[in-house]
Amino acid sequence: METTNLFFNSPSDWTMFGPRISQERAQTMLPMLIDRARQRKTITYGELANHFNISFAMPIMSVVICTTGTLYLLERNQLPQAQFTWKHGKIPRIANMVTRAGGKPAGFVAQQLENQKPPVGFQTLLDEIFDYKRWDGVLKALGLRT
């Protein structure tokens, strides 16, 4: 089982969104999440942790945050590494389909849903992710593939 040092002494170990290892894992995770979205299935934090052979939640949360931040910058054309300019508007927050055990939304997702006026159900949020037609374009823009 991999051990992760949460304290990085070298600037080369850190990127804008966190540890470099999280960025590398996010590049692997995004195509996985897109495959799951196409199957209309969620994935748990535990399943992701097992896939990356990580024994506790913090590193996986960092990977999820890296994925969210990367898509946020892509849709705003603020990602210098993008292969082309994104002209397709908002990209659904695919990381919101990562759930706690039992399929419950993560605490911050549940809170967001409750705070919206009118409140939005979790399935509505998932359907937006599952039904998104431009996932291939997202992967292409990031130089990734499934």
12-46 residue pLDDT tens:
554 544 567 777 888 889 999 999 999 999 999 88
Residue 79 belongs to domain spanning:
18-141
What does the pLDDT read at residue 27? 86
Residue 18's H or E segment, with its range, is strand 18-19
What does the pLDDT read at residue 57? 64
Q: How many domains are there within the chain?
A: 1
Q: Answer whether residue 94 is part of any domain.
A: yes
Q: Answer whether residue 2 is part of any domain.
A: no
What does the pLDDT read at residue 40? 97
Distance CA 71, CA 78 (A): 10
Distance CA 26, CA 21 (A): 9
Q: Answer whether residue 81 is part of any domain.
A: yes
Distance CA 87, CA 99 (A): 30
Q: Answer whether residue 9 is part of any domain.
A: no
Pair of tokens at residue 12: 């080369």
With a CB cutoff of 8 Å and minimum separation 6, the contacts of 75 are 86, 88, 89, 90, 91
CB 34 within 8 A of CB 137: no
What does the pLDDT read at residue 18? 57
What does the pLDDT read at residue 7? 32
Q: Answer whether residue 10 is part of any domain.
A: no
Q: Answer whether residue 90 is part of any domain.
A: yes
DSSP reduced 3-state for 43: strand
What does the pLDDT read at residue 24? 80
Low-confidence ranges of the chain (pLDDT < 50): 1-11, 14, 16-17
What does the pLDDT read at residue 134? 96
